Amino acid sequence: MLRTMRILTSVLLSASLVLAACGGKAKPAPTPAPTETADTCGVQSSNGVPTNAEQCECLGHQVVGDIGNGQVACPDGTTEVAKIQYGIEGGVCCQAATAPAGE
């Protein structure tokens, strides 16, 4: 009977050690995806104004390239945010107009 008690004690002690070694640490919470801001788009050095097509699109704006005649303009329903470096001729960064309240 004494031998059975020692075996049972050894088994319980081993099981306790295994369980203690396996648990304990909680998984870290997943980090949310960053939202696109002036800082993540790289425009902080230019006071929040995009200077190239990548920055313009990162901010959710539309790039319109100059076809070579110098008459580049934003399409109807958008406003010019800035002139940008784009291709050989350049371009403009256009932001969609916001609808007035109540529409």
Band the pLDDT of 74: cuts 50, 70, 90.
Answer: very high
The pLDDT assigned to 15 comes to 66
The pLDDT assigned to 39 comes to 66
Note whether residue 78 is domain-resident: yes
Residue range 84-100: mean pLDDT, rounded:
87
Note whether residue 79 is domain-resident: yes
Please state, in angstroms and rounded to a whole number, the distance separating the CA atoms of residues 53 and 68.
17
Q: Where in the sequence is the domain holding 75, given as residue range(s)?
A: 63-98
Note whether residue 56 is domain-resident: no
Note whether residue 26 is domain-resident: no
C-beta separation of 63 from 53 below 8 A: yes
Which of the residue ranges 27-31, 63-67, 69-73, 95-99 has the most confident prediction, judged by mean pLDDT? 63-67
Note whether residue 90 is domain-resident: yes
Q: What is the model's pTM?
A: 0.56
> What is the domain count for the chain?
1
Q: What is the DSSP string of the chain?
A: -HHHHHHHHHHHHHHHHHHHHH--PPPPPPPPPPPP-HHHHT-GGGTT---BHHHHHHTT-EEEE--SSS---PPTTEEEEEEEB-TTT-EEEEEEPPPPTT-
Note whether residue 89 is domain-resident: yes
Between residues 26 and 79, which one has the greater pLDDT? 79
